[in-house]
Amino acid sequence: MAVNENLRTPIVSVMGHVDHGKTSLLDRIRGSAVADGEAGAITQHIGATEVPIDNIVNKCGDPSLKDKFIVPGLLFIDTPGHHAFTSLRSRGGALADLAIVIVDVNEGFMPQTIESLHILKRFKTPFVVVANKIDRIHGWEANKNLPFLATYNKQSERVKSDLDNKLYELIGELYNIGFNSERYDRVNDFQRNIGVIPISAATGEGIADVLMILLGLAQRFLEGNLHYDATAPGTGTVLEVKEEKGLGTTLDIILYDGTIKKGDTIVVGSLGDPIQTKIRALLKPRPLSEIKAEEKFQQVSEVTAAVGVKISAPNLEGALAGSPVRVVSTDTIDAITEEIKSEIADVQIDTDTIGITIKADTIGSLEALVNELKKEDIPIRKANVGDVSNRDIVEVTAIEDPFFSVIVGFNVKILPDAKEKLQSTDVKLFLNDVIYRLIDDYKDWVKKQKE
């Protein structure tokens, strides 16, 4: 076996609590390659980093591995700051083919990370848990860039058992969420057990293991999902809607199928009717060697999946993060516009005649919130993307049942005029960036009201 030309690069999302080491891990995957003189091989995308298979295999120190793998490499998404993994969807479900859940081994899982685990479960996304910062374990002797087992075997018995205990705690927490897991070298069947890989993003220990296990998962579970058609019209997901100096509103997208060209007409979701527009420019970051150049981006005439790219085009102001973006022709524009509209409306439907009103920052996170509320049998009257507006308050004021005169907002804020309005009403507002906290807060409040 060798690299199969018909398979695209698997898309890997890195999730974890702030400060647990997402950026450091990606830097390590990128940076040590720069140090190894392999910088040319690594491609920086918009919102993503591509590591080719040769590079990964070199890092693992066994060239014969190359023949074992059929994927061309791995594309790591730099999940934008606060955006939960929930925002990243594709037509088939989750945008990411694989995921890394990173956790500070000394702190354990945090609420948002647990939420990410639930979502991975729902989408059945294969993933690994990376237990980071092992170098912080008292007495740890760092062995730069060694694979995990090699460095583990050099540690004292006390350090080993200290780490083992911390891992057991993680494994216990994973069990409570419904996952069987084991330290990765003890996993025989990755379909049944989640591998937990101890690493240090600071020293590079265990990084090779992470790359190897990801390739193994891609190989074993993804082949059927990675077929793509380079000649098909481009299909992607909006990562971020961003203002850029001199360009106005732009879209950072991950293209997961087909090709997208300068001058193509695209359709992208918005709160109202989908936006139809023509691509003025496709932009990629400048190579590292040209970092001092005046312009941040360079133009390209076309790109093929899987790739992260910035789109500059007119009328992108209302575009929604997390929404689909598709290349259309005069024959397909109407049908695809309808499809995108209904895909967004599916989430935004007025679900029940009575119920609470919910808001979220992206379609994906709104969908996640709807799902969790349904599990709790909490009826939803209206679900919408965007900050809490004056209009939301006015609408909810008209609801007589006090238990439903409620707005629940995930990852959103309340607009200034709405805040003022809220004070003169009995509307109850809950805001949080953790879904289950929102639900708990609402349930606690309802319970108190009933007492």
The residues binding ligand GDP (CB under 6 A) are 16, 18-24, 132-133, 135-136, 200-202
Phi–psi pair at 74, nearest 5 degrees: -135, 140
Report in angstroms how near the CB of residue 79 gets to Mg ion at its nearest.
9
162 binds, among ligand GDP, Mg ion, none (CB under 5 to 8 A by kind): none
Q: How far apart are CA 42 and CA 374, in angstroms?
A: 43
* Shortest CB 3 distance to ligand GDP, Å: 31
Query: Between residues 28 and 310, which has the closer beta carbon with respect to ligand GDP?
Result: 28
Per-residue mark of binding to Mg ion, 312-331 (x: CB under 5 A): --------------------
The piece of 21-29, 33-41, 258-266, 402-410 that touches Mg ion (CB under 5 A) is: 21-29
For ligand GDP, give the closer residue by CB, 16 or 52.
Answer: 16
> What amino acid is encoded at 380 in this protein?
I
Phi, psi of 31 (to 5 degrees): -70, -40
Tally of CB atoms within 10 A around 263 = 11
d(CA 448, CA 403): 11
| Contact with Mg ion (CB under 5 A) among 4, 23, 298, 315 | 23
The answer to whether 13 and 100 are in contact (CB under 8 A) is yes
CA distance 58 to 36: 10
Pick 96 or 373: Cβ nearer ligand GDP = 96
- Residue 401 contact, options ligand GDP, Mg ion, none, Cβ 5-8 Å cut-off depending on partner type: none
* Residue 197 touches which member of Mg ion, ligand GDP, none, C-beta under 5-8 Å by kind: none
| 3-state SS, one letter per residue, for 333-376 | HHHHHHHHHHHHHHHHCCCCCCCEEEEECCHHHHHHHHHHHHHC
- The nearest distance, CB 26 to ligand GDP, in angstroms, is 8
Tokens (6 digits) for 138: 């008292």
Q: Which of Mg ion, ligand GDP, none does 159 bind, CB closer than 5 to 8 A by kind?
A: none
Give phi and psi for 71, each to the nearest 5: -90, 150
Phi-psi region of 84 (alpha: psi -120 to 50; beta: other; left: phi over 0): beta
For the bound state, the minimum distance from the C-beta of residue 138 to ligand GDP, rounded and expressed in Å, comes to: 12
Name which of 82 and 121 has its Cβ closer to ligand GDP.
Answer: 82
Q: For residues 29 and 418, which CB has a smaller minimum distance to ligand GDP in the complex?
A: 29
Could you give the C-alpha distances from 402 to 174, 395, 399, 406, in angstroms and in order?
38, 13, 7, 8
Q: Residue 65 class from Cβ within 10 Å (0-12 exposed, 13-18 middle, 19+ buried)?
A: middle
**Three-class secondary structure of residue 61 per DSSP:** coil
Q: Which residue has the tokens 């296990």?
A: 213
Judged by beta carbon, residue 252 or residue 257, the one nearer Mg ion is: 252
Per CB under 5 A, the segment of 23-31, 47-55, 365-373, 433-441 that binds Mg ion is 23-31
Minimum distance between the CB of residue 81 and Mg ion, rounded to whole angstroms? 7
**What's the min distance (Å) between Cβ of 132 and ligand GDP?**
5
For 109, what's the count of Cα atoms within 13 Å in the CB-facing half-sphere?
24
In contact, 78 and 47? CB cutoff 8 Å: yes
- Identify what 86 binds: Mg ion, ligand GDP, none; CB under 5 to 8 Å per kind: none
Nearest residue to the partner Mg ion, using Cβ: 23
**Site size toward Mg ion, by CB under 5 A:** 2
Ramachandran area for residue 340 (φ above 0: left; ψ -120 to 50: alpha; else beta): alpha
Is the CB of 132 or the CB of 181 nearer to ligand GDP? 132
What does 145 interact with, of Mg ion, ligand GDP, none (CB < 5 to 8 A by kind)? none
Output 81 or 224, the one with its CB closest to Mg ion: 81
Range in contact with Mg ion (rule: CB under 5 A) among 15-23, 68-76, 146-154, 310-318? 15-23
The residue among 24 and 384 lying less far from ligand GDP, judged by its C-beta, is: 24
Part of the chain binding Mg ion (CB under 5 A), chosen from 14-22, 45-53, 157-165, 353-361: 14-22
By CB under 5 A, name the binding residues for Mg ion.
Answer: 22-23
